[in-house]
Chain A
Amino acid sequence: EIVMTQSPATLSVSPGESATLSCRASQSVSSNLAWYQQKPGQAPRLLIYGASTRATGFPARFSGSGSGTEFTLTISSLQSEDFAVYYCQQYNDWWTFGQGTKVEIK
């Protein structure tokens, strides 16, 4: 099973600042990597797929990068609606999720 490790567990950021979230795979997943955003009481929502393609409805301040085993989600100029938990997921070999990074207001 491919293990996905996210860091940090919690990221405290002031509105208007940027946030960088990391995700590491225990073996190469090529670009078969997705990011999901989850707000309290809601289902996860697809944010990024193919490591860097933004899903419908998300603004350009969200960007994803990486391939192989190292991936990054960057949120520039954080808005109030961006504070949430973010999960990475590999879909190269079945599906496994990282444990999540909570982006909270500083």
Chain B
Amino acid sequence: QLQLQESGPGLVKPSETLSLTCTVSGDSISNSNFYWGWIRQPPGKGLEWIGSGYYSGSAYYNSSLKTRVTISVDTSKNQVSLRLSSVTAADTAVYYCATIISNPKTGRPQYFQHWGQGTLVTVSS
């Protein structure tokens, strides 16, 4: 069964870069049926899509974050990573990675099928 596990520092200083890794087990990250997404949830608030990547190297970002976000897929390690630069307290959140199932006819990414358990990142000095 496909499983996702986020990892990375739980505390990041303001103005620094947040770096997280999502390790995929139970399937290949090169599976063409999946895209890989990052979503975050500030404490007590709702969900925000950050960006998505594909094994080919394509990446798509939320327009509100695109100047600060980089998502990359490492097929050799079966991992997808997230980097968010110049963080502030507003970036404090639980960060989730998720699989995005693609439409079998069109190849377009669709809904978030599997989710990792999430990791809390706090931005504070």
Contact = CB atoms under 8 A, between A and B. Distances in A.
A39 to B, nearest CB: 12
Interface string B5-42: 00000000000000000000000000000000100000
A49 B103 CA distance: 12
Interface in A83-106: 87, 89, 91, 94-100
A97 B49 contact: yes
Contact of B111 (A1, A34, A94, A100): A34
Q: Which applies to chain B's interface (DSSP): helix, strand, loop or mixed?
A: strand
A34 B112 contact: yes
A32 interface: yes
Contact of A1 (B63, B116, B118): B63
Contacts of A32: 110
Nearest to A32: B110
Contacts, number: 50
Interface in B59-90: 60, 62-63
Interface residues of B, number: 20
Given A34-B111, A95-B37, A44 B47 contact: yes
A45 interface: yes
A43 interface: yes
B117 A43 contact: yes
A45 B111 CA distance: 11
Given A95-B37, A97-B49, A89 B111 contact: yes
A87 B113 CA distance: 14
Interface of B: 37, 46-49, 52, 60, 62-63, 96, 109-118
Interface of A: 1, 32, 34, 36, 42-46, 49, 55, 87, 89, 91, 94-100
Q: Nearest 5 pairs between A and B by C-beta? A: A34-B111, A43-B115, A95-B49, A97-B47, A49-B111
Given A44-B96, A99-B46, 10 more contacts: A34-B111, A43-B115, A43-B118, A44-B112, A45-B115, A46-B113, A46-B115, A49-B110, A91-B110, A91-B111
